[in-house]
Amino acid sequence: MIWQPLDLSEACPPHTPNSACSNFGLLYLSLLVKLYGGSADQRQECRRERAPREEFDFIVVGAGAAGCVVANRLTENHKWKVLLLEAGPEEPDVTLVPGLSSALLGSNIDWQYRTQPNGRSCLAHPGGSCPWPRGKTMGGSSSINSMAYLRGNRADYDAWAAAGNDGWSYEEVLPFFKKSERNINIEVLDSKYHGAKGEQYVSRYPYIDTPSIMLTEAFNQGGLPLADYNGAHQVGTMQAQAVSLDGERVSTNVAFIQPIRHKRPNLFVETNAEAKKILIDEYNNAYGIVYVKDGKKHTAYARKEVIISAGAINSPKLLMLSGIGPKQQLRSLGIPVVQDLAVGENLHDHVTFNGVVIALSNKTATTVSQEEILIAVEDYHEMKIKRGPLSGNGPVNSVSFLKTDPNLPAPDIQFQFNRISNWREMIQDPIAAEYVSILPTAFYDAVEPRAMNLVPKSRGVLLLNQTDPNGPPLLYPNYFGDERDMIPILKALRFLLSLENTEAMRSRGAHFVREPLPYCKRYEWGTDAYFVCMMQAYTATTYHPVGTCKMGPKWDTKAVVDNQLRVYGVRSLRVIDASMMPAVIRGNTNAPSIMIGERGVDFVVRHWRSHTKDYF
């Protein structure tokens, strides 16, 4: 079996009321492993032995949202030999099921990172540290995320370009969004903003339940128009599209690697292969990668370029282990300095918090018995055409964008929703409910609206671990380090509370649970003081960390890569993933990461097309 689920014996606190921590939880996870623990890629893989010293034209580190795109595009040239390294295993079948997305967190295909405390966030979590899930499998985080396909706002990319990053304005990146996209929903195909011939399937789920429709109606009745967020206007509400097809997830592994893996002999894929060091010669030229697989060190060599696409956490970590980073930090760890750059700085994320609860009436809730949950899991497995509750993702794609000030150039708040299996259990032990959220997203009796600050001012830093530089890095997102980050969220909550009076919610008996959560019981529910306490206590990531290998012009002292994603001061080395974002975009980061892969590899192809005769 490829997939190993969350260990309930470690994750469940003693005496928790959470039913997922019961014997049923163990039975449920055992069923998931039995039905979905294998991998289609593993069943098809036919390995060939490689020579001890083998050269490639390109080495791509990280088979995530960007890396899979890069490897696909490079191997379109049959003369180029490409090695794709992925630290995790093959993508397990369980990732394909939209309704099981929450069961992936904390499993063996999650790096299971945690933040470092800053005294202003995550206060209700053990040690003041929040979990930071990141994908560790083929497809990376595109294989474990919630699948929403959102690109951000025109203003985001125009701001990148205005800061001196030529080639990254909205009009310049739009063709690269469209290049990958294969949108199958007919209502958006006549738009100039969408593509229909790319590899990445985009669609709405075949199953959208009543509470999800209620949420879209409530936001619409509250004043937000129905909108295609990826079109001309972002402010609005709608059921967001997902990277899915016919009720199944389409990760970048499924979209870009599976179709070519056994057809292009110039593509070589190594899984369970963790990169440890970039090889750089005395002329500051990157020429290979040292990686570990099955406990043994291996070396691969690149004739043309090494491309790092390991994500906003592992890309800066690998650069620093290789001597590229802040010289003081590297010298303190005994790492020879190759290039002094601000690697690991500019770390930021869309901050939000958990704990606001909208309870659903019995007629609107989608809860079923434990036996019916197991039946639904088995039924989905047996379907040739995937339909039913597990072919959707509950209320997660009920997305809305809001301006908290009409004078803003673009939205500063995004609303997304978690589902709560049992809200009475949740308000007793909210941390356990978050950590052991393993049950299908389709079945719930409450929803948890989360207002995300899309334009955070706080900036943090990623550092190598002093005691074990090769181990998990130290993550300091510095949530609410700038207290102004709370203001948009407080304004958004006032708008949110007003929706209780909409016809959509009143007619279905939905209402806010006005019982303070344990950490904030000293405050009156609904006051600013209560919500500030909630933000600081039940802080949550939206899984959008970016910025640690910042793109910027040469005069920018915080820049790590230039506008073509070349690492300053090191030849033949690029970083192509979300770590290059100067500022996070207004929306989820999966679709932008795919675009970054397309935009970045286009620079690579154009360079070698003009500099070599072996392109054609």
- Mean pLDDT for the chain? 96
Residue 417 covered by a domain: yes
Residues in the chain with pLDDT values less than 50: 51, 615-616
Which alpha helices (DSSP H) does 333-438 contain, by range?
370-382, 423-428, 430-435
Residues 539 and 562 in one domain: no
- The domain boundary, picked from 480, 512, 544, lies at 544
Could you count the other beta carbons within 10 Å of the beta carbon of residue 146?
22
Residue 56 covered by a domain: yes
Of 411, 474, 428, 478, give the one whose Cα is nearest residue 122: 478
Residue 108 covered by a domain: yes
Q: Is there a contact between 161 and 147 (Cβ–Cβ < 8 Å)?
A: no
Distance CA 441, CA 366 (A): 10
Dihedral sign computed on CA atoms, order 299, 300, 301, 307: negative
Q: Is there a contact between 534 and 520 (Cβ–Cβ < 8 Å)?
A: yes
Residues 317 and 221 in one domain: no
Q: Would you state the pLDDT for residue 368? A: 97
What is the DSSP secondary-structure string of 538-559?
SEEE-S--B-TT-B--TT-TT-
Residue 8 covered by a domain: no
Residues 117 and 165 in one domain: no
Q: Would you state the pLDDT for residue 466? A: 93
- The domain boundary, picked from 514, 544, 574, lies at 544
CA atoms within 13 A on the CB side of 423: 26
Strand-pairing partners, residue 474, are 463
Note the pLDDT tens digit of each residue in 202-217: 999 999 999 999 999 9
Distance CA 89, CA 510 (A): 42
Q: Is there a contact between 63 and 269 (Cβ–Cβ < 8 Å)?
A: yes
- Tell me which residues are annotated as active site: 544
Residues 575 and 458 in one domain: no
Kindly state the greatest CA–CA separation across the chain. Answer: 72
Residue 23 covered by a domain: no
Distance CA 490, CA 492 (A): 5
Distance CA 17, CA 222 (A): 35
**Residue 180 belongs to domain with CATH number:** 3.50.50.60
Residues 57 and 152 in one domain: yes
Residues 302 and 355 in one domain: no
Residue 583 covered by a domain: yes
Residues 221 and 284 in one domain: no
Q: Would you state the pLDDT for residue 31? A: 98
**Residue 424 belongs to domain with CATH number:** 3.30.560.10
How many domains does the chain contain in total?
A: 2
Enumerate residues 6+ apart whose C-beta is below 8 A from 598.
Answer: 69, 73, 176, 177, 179, 180
Q: Would you state the pLDDT for residue 572? A: 98
Residue 9 DSSP class? H
Residues 378 and 498 in one domain: yes
- The domain boundary, picked from 544, 577, 602, lies at 544
Residues 187 and 328 in one domain: yes
Helix (H) or strand (E) holding 82: strand 82-85
Residue 24 covered by a domain: no
Q: Would you state the pLDDT for residue 616? A: 46
Distance CA 553, CA 43 (A): 46
Residues 458 and 444 in one domain: yes
Residue 557 DSSP class? T
Helix (H) or strand (E) holding 170: helix 170-180
Note the pLDDT tens digit of each residue in 24-40: 999 999 999 999 999 99
Distance CA 345, CA 550 (A): 8
Q: Would you state the pLDDT for residue 45? A: 63
Residues 174 and 109 in one domain: no
- Which one-letter amino acid corresponds to residue 95? T
Residues 426 and 562 in one domain: no
| Residue-range definition of the domain harbouring residue 310 | 40-92+137-192+252-347+546-616
Q: Would you state the pLDDT for residue 305? A: 98
Helix (H) or strand (E) holding 175: helix 170-180
Residue 534 covered by a domain: yes
Helix (H) or strand (E) holding 414: strand 413-420
For residue 125, the Cα-to-chain-centroid distance in whole angstroms is 21
